[in-house]
Chains A and B, each alone.
Chain A
Amino acid sequence: MPELGAHAVQVLASWAIGLLVLAILIGASIRDARRTRRRLQELERSRKPR
């Protein structure tokens, strides 16, 4: 952990905001992609002629 001195709060807050927003964005995108693909695969499986 680097020495941030008097500006530690601002620097850490900036990084926390940035990383948190990125994590939410990446997580939500992956979750939506997985859910959609699973749903499509289930749908295609159910439509296959037996």
Chain B
Amino acid sequence: MKSLWELSNPRRFVGIADRWLVPLSILTAILVVPGLIWGFAFTPDDHVQGSTVKIMFIHVPAALTAINGWLMMLVASIIWLVRRHRVSALAARAAAPVGLAMTFIALATGALWGQQTWGTYWAWEPRLTSFLILFLHYAAYVILWNSLGNSDAVAEIAAYLCLVGSVFALLSRYAVLFWEKGLHQGSTLSLDPETHIHAAFYWPLLLCMAGFTLLFVTLVVLRTRTFIEQAKIASRFTESGTP
């Protein structure tokens, strides 16, 4: 098996991306489209929440992807700080807008769901607050890259911002275990059959979660390839002296 570090070579990364983007996109569509249709149209109403339970099939996969996306950025940032592989910095940059969008979806759908189940759009409780801070970190990260341009110094600052934001990504994930007073429920999926959700919701939700994760991977690969090619274009212009 080839080493993972081969991906740190920009040319090899572009070659691998070219080969895998179409199969990845097809697999993503195979998971996301039926998952969402199943969740929306073919699941029953919950006996307590009624039809609002259908919000879960957008909200939970988006929230999961938002948190995991930041953790992927953390790994990429550490690789950049330790080994200085440019592709890892670009991969973290590529992941940020995807994570930002997922965090926004989770917050917006969560507010609409919360209004129906808790009677309020927002509460300053641990999971919601840490998730809002994660959203602000994502926004700051995207603004940082977009406003200061593509340089090693920006990659360095962005990597340290990512390290700080990781605290809130982890808090978002485990807040319900640290504090039990929040409005937000515990984990949706559990190994404990007592707290496990009904199979009618479990399978479409699992399909949506897998699909959103794969969608994240596909978009990150595509966007990283774009950044590598943009850097290549910029270097060609520098070589030729054309602005």
Contact = CB atoms under 8 A, between A and B. Distances in A.
B101 A14 contact: no
Given A10-B113, A40-B232, A40-B233, A21 B226 contact: no
B193 to A, nearest CB: 28
Contacts of A30: 222
A22 B212 CA distance: 10
B105 A17 contact: yes
Interface string B184-224: 00000000000000000000000000000001000100110
A7 B116 contact: yes
Interface residues of B, number: 35
B59 interface: yes
B226 A32 contact: yes
A41 to B, nearest CB: 10
Nearest to B114: A10
A36 B233 contact: yes
Interface in B26-64: 40-42, 45, 50-52, 54-55, 58-59, 62
Contacts of B51: 2-5, 7-8, 11
Contact of B108 (A17, A24, A26): A17
Interface residues of A, number: 31
Contacts of B41: 1-2
A2 to B, nearest CB: 5
Interface string A17-39: 11101101110011011001101
Given A22-B101, A39-B233, A14 B226 contact: no
Contact of B230 (A15, A18, A36): A36
A26 B211 CA distance: 14
Contacts of B52: 7, 10-11
Nearest to A28: B97
Given A25-B97, A39-B233, A17 B109 contact: yes
Contact of B236 (A10, A13, A47): A47
A11 B54 contact: yes
Nearest to A4: B51
Contacts of B104: 21
Interface of B: 40-42, 45, 50-52, 54-55, 58-59, 62, 97-98, 101, 104-105, 108-109, 112-113, 115-116, 215, 219, 222-223, 225-226, 229-230, 232-233, 236, 240
Q: Sort A-B residue pairs by CB-CB distance and give the 6 closest, nearest first.
A: A18-B58, A14-B109, A4-B51, A14-B55, A10-B112, A33-B226
